[in-house]
Amino acid sequence: MGRHALLGEIVSRSAKELANHGAELGKLVTGGMVIVLAGPLGAGKTTFVQGLARGMGVNTPVTSPTFALIHLHEACPFTLVHCDLYRLQSEEEFEQLGLWEYFAPRYVVAIEWGQAFLAGLPENCVQIDILPSGEQRLLRVSGENTTALEKWVRSCQS
Ligand SMILES: Nc1ncnc2c1ncn2[C@@H]1O[C@H](COP(=O)(O)OP(=O)(O)O)[C@@H](O)[C@H]1O
Ligand SMILES: [Mg+2]
Indicate the pLDDT class of residue 4, thresholds 50, 70 and 90.
Answer: confident
Give the atom of ligand 1 at the shortest distance from the alpha carbon of 40. 22
3: left (phi over 0), alpha (psi -120 to 50) or beta: alpha
Q: What is the mean pLDDT of residues 72-98?
A: 96
Give the atom of ligand 1 at the shortest distance from the alpha carbon of 14. 1
Locate the DSSP E strands across 19-150. Answer: 34-38, 70-73, 79-84, 107-112, 126-133, 136-142
Name the residue range of residue 35's domain: 6-157
Indicate the pLDDT class of residue 66, thresholds 50, 70 and 90.
Answer: confident
| CATH number of the domain residue 113 falls in | 3.40.50.300
Sign of the dihedral defined by the CA atoms of residues 27, 29, 31, 32, in that order: negative
Q: What is the pLDDT of residues 21-57, one digit of tens each?
A: 999 999 999 999 999 999 999 999 999 999 999 999 9
Domains contained in the chain, number? 1
23, part of any domain: yes
142, part of any domain: yes
Q: What is the pLDDT of residues 95-151, one digit of tens each?
A: 999 999 999 999 999 999 999 999 999 999 999 999 999 999 999 999 998 999 999
Looking at the CA of 66, which ligand is closest?
2
1, part of any domain: no
32, part of any domain: yes
34-38, strands of its sheet edge to edge: 6-12, 136-142, 126-133, 34-38, 107-112, 79-84, 70-73
Pocket test for ligand 1, best of 47, 84, 87 (most atoms within 8 A of CB): 47
- In this predicted structure, what is the pLDDT of residue 86? 94
- In this predicted structure, what is the pLDDT of residue 68? 84
Q: Residues enclosing ligand 1, CB less than 6 A?
A: 12-15, 18, 39, 41-47, 112, 135-137
- In this predicted structure, what is the pLDDT of residue 158? 79
| Residue 14 Cα to ligand 1 middle (Å) | 8
* pTM beyond 0.85: yes
| Residue 16 Cα to ligand 1 middle (Å) | 9
